[in-house]
Amino acid sequence: MSFPRASTLAVALFAATLTAGAALASPVPADANATTASTSAAMTTQTATADARFADFSKRWLDGSLALSPVNATQQGDHRFDAELDDLSAAGLAKATAFDRKMLAELDGIDVAALSRENQIDAAIVRNAIEYDLWSIETAQSWAWDPQVYGGLAGGAIYSLMARDFAPLPVRLKAATARMEKLPALFAQMRKNLDPARVPKIHAETVAKQNGGVISLVEEFILPNAGQLQDEDRARLDASVANLRKAVAEQQTWLDQTLVPNAKGDFRIGAKLYDQKLRFALMSSLSRAEIKRRAEAEIVRVRATMYDIARQVLKDKPDAPELPAKPTEAQQQKAIEAALELAYADRPARDQVVTAAKAALAQATDFTRAKDLVTVPDDPVDVILMPEFQRGVAVAYCDSPGPLDKGLKTYYAISPIPDDWTDAQTDSFLREYNGRMIHLLSIHEAMPGHYLEGAHSARHPSVVRGVLRSGMFAEGWAVYTESLMMDQGYLDNDPLFHLVRYKFYLRAVANAILDQGVHVDGWTREQAMDLMTRRTFQQEREAAGKWVRAQLTSAQLPTYFVGVQEHFDLRKAMEKKLGDKFQLKAYHDQVLSYGAPPVRFVREMMLDEPIR
């Protein structure tokens, strides 16, 4: 089914939420009541005025920011700029910086305290986004050293147009033609902007491997449908494809012969930049030190729980290791590893991972509905092979439609096992992604994790909140649902499923420690691998991939652990507040009703605390 192309950006903002004052316990003189009513009316007027001003500001900020980033605009569902491409030239970056500074000055002039509580949240999120963008351009300067910025734009420019049926194919093909015509200029900006002395080798090598994915997208999505265009439109498309093939080939030569050999940058961003980026990325009250303290304590706690399960499943096994009540660290390690081997024995064939994920998604959906854990949306979701241009960073991801696109598919994407992997490498991967782990991956990425959360978030009326959806909220929710499904008895309370779930959770815990270790503490590969393979039981292929990911990214890996810690803390607080009136489904629906801002804002709304 095709959807009409959006011609305007619809910005929906909350009106002020007005509440009557509490009744007084004792009689009050009439003049006092009049004064109270007058004060309340004045406050109502002040809030309405501030909200109207913020609504106007928000619309202009959204319009301007999406116009400056056409690829992101398409991904968000604003299709006014589908034929355009982001400008990362010096002039383009200067224009973006000037826009950010103008908007920040306007926001400074709004009395945020006078806004409704919902708009106070949006104002804080927008301020963070503007300051983060300025920081990225002026301080971090990723445009000068990270080729992933350009590679992601090149692939996203085509994929975002062709992956979903938001408009008739001819309309999308014409837009794709216009973007393909502009992609050689983006490659030229990349070559001009990047300073090989600042580019980390791992970044250069990764983008060199991904570069051909742009043509793969053309061959998968565009050429099979080229017959939808006729005459001049078809001739223009064919010419743009031919020119793009040439530009991608030239880019590949530059990547292989110039960038990769001369890439000398340090992938570690250092403590100062890391702490600044962490603040922007998380919007959390937890400091780097507190994150590490909590994570280290969780490793100790979870390993003890895993050992208890290991004693249960290994009991009476003929070749079981020693299982004392109070084990040494070595005894604990050996027992947990032996128990995990029982889970690793059940794993899909090399070419059956996607099939297994589809079956797991169906089972998790049925369970979530049967247990009535949360309102389950009817939005469509597909399990797909990850597009080539996005491979090499994560094994799987959830790609939800933008908040301005309604009724379109969510994609749960899984990266295929590389063709050049040896049998030993493939076996390592499939031991990690065994049958039970595929269930957990499907819970996390789809049901009731990212897919369900994304569908709920898209229903929130604030477009600002949809466009600036919190990664920390989303990842924390996804990890939280793994615990939820286990606690509710998924897979018949199978102890090996519980064991694998704790192992999966330890990955989230380790992510937070690993990110700091790499970017602040100067960890070596050996230190990173020890954390992952020994302390948190990850297979070699998973750990090796995560080591690469930790070099390629920063301040993203902690979102899982910090997010789930804040979700756990919020649920405990609400259980304490409501007592025996606490209902799980009502709680989950309320958590998801706020449109996925950082978790602390959800807590402030649910506990009626001031918006900080």
pLDDT digits 0-9 by tens, 523-551? 999 999 999 999 999 999 999 999 999 99
* Cα–Cα distance measured from residue 94 to residue 106, given in angstroms and rounded to the nearest whole number: 19
Could you tell me which residues are beta bridge partners of residue 398? 412
Burial class of residue 232, CB neighbours in 10 A (0-12, 13-18, 19+): exposed
Q: For residue 445, tell me if it sits in a domain.
A: yes
Positive or negative, the Cα torsion across 74, 145, 518, 205?
A: positive
The residue to which tokens 């090399």 are assigned: 350
| Whole-number pLDDT of residue 45 | 78
- 88 and 34 in a common domain: yes
- 156 and 134 in a common domain: no
* Cα–Cα distance measured from residue 363 to residue 446, given in angstroms and rounded to the nearest whole number: 11
- 172 and 106 in a common domain: no
Domain containing residue 59: CATH number = 1.20.58
Dihedrals phi, psi of 28, to nearest 5 degrees: -130, 140
Name the domain boundary from 94, 121, 140. 140
3-state secondary structure of 18: coil
The strand pair at 381-385 and 396-399 is best described as unpaired
The residue to which tokens 């619309």 are assigned: 59
Name the domain boundary from 140, 170, 186. 140
Number of compact structural domains in the chain: 3
- 448 and 360 in a common domain: yes
Q: For residue 379, tell me if it sits in a domain.
A: yes
Dihedrals phi, psi of 220, to nearest 5 degrees: -85, -40
Span 3-47, pLDDT tens digits: 222 333 233 222 222 222 222 233 334 454 545 555 566 557 788
As a whole number of Å, the end-to-end CA separation of the chain is 43
- 136 and 149 in a common domain: no
- 121 and 166 in a common domain: no
Name the domain boundary from 237, 262, 287. 262
| Whole-number pLDDT of residue 46 | 81
Tokens coding 469: 């959806």
Q: For residue 287, tell me if it sits in a domain.
A: no
Could you tell me which residues are beta bridge partners of residue 265? 200
Q: For residue 376, tell me if it sits in a domain.
A: yes
For residues 260 and 477, the answer to whether their CB atoms sit within 8 Å is no
Range of the domain at 527: 343-606
Tokens coding 249: 């080939």
Cis peptide, bond prior to residue 448, ω within 30 of zero: yes
Closest among 278, 269, 299 to 559, alpha carbons compared: 278
pTM for this model (two decimals): 0.89
- 164 and 34 in a common domain: no
- 527 and 504 in a common domain: yes
Dihedrals phi, psi of 27, to nearest 5 degrees: -60, 145
Residue 522 region by backbone torsions, left for phi larger than 0, else alpha for psi between -120 and 50, else beta:
left
Mean pLDDT by 10 residues, the chain (612 residues): 28 26 34 52 77 97 98 97 98 98 98 97 98 98 98 96 96 98 98 98 97 96 97 98 98 98 98 97 92 98 98 94 97 98 95 93 98 96 88 86 91 91 92 96 97 94 94 97 98 98 98 98 98 97 95 97 97 98 98 97 97 92
- 92 and 150 in a common domain: no
Span 494-525, pLDDT tens digits: 999 999 999 999 999 999 999 999 999 999 99
The residue to which tokens 């570069």 are assigned: 211
* Cα–Cα distance measured from residue 519 to residue 67, given in angstroms and rounded to the nearest whole number: 33
3-state secondary structure of 399: strand
Q: For residue 310, tell me if it sits in a domain.
A: no
| Whole-number pLDDT of residue 108 | 97
For residues 95 and 123, the answer to whether their CB atoms sit within 8 Å is no
- 154 and 133 in a common domain: no
Positive or negative, the Cα torsion across 370, 376, 378, 379?
A: negative
Q: At what angle do helices 471-487 and 353-371 cross, to 10 degrees?
A: 70
Identify the helix (H) or strand (E) that includes residue 373.
none
Q: For residue 108, tell me if it sits in a domain.
A: yes
- 439 and 560 in a common domain: yes
- 99 and 124 in a common domain: yes
Q: For residue 267, tell me if it sits in a domain.
A: no
Q: For residue 359, tell me if it sits in a domain.
A: yes
For residues 565 and 436, the answer to whether their CB atoms sit within 8 Å is no
Closest among 482, 536, 543 to 509, alpha carbons compared: 536
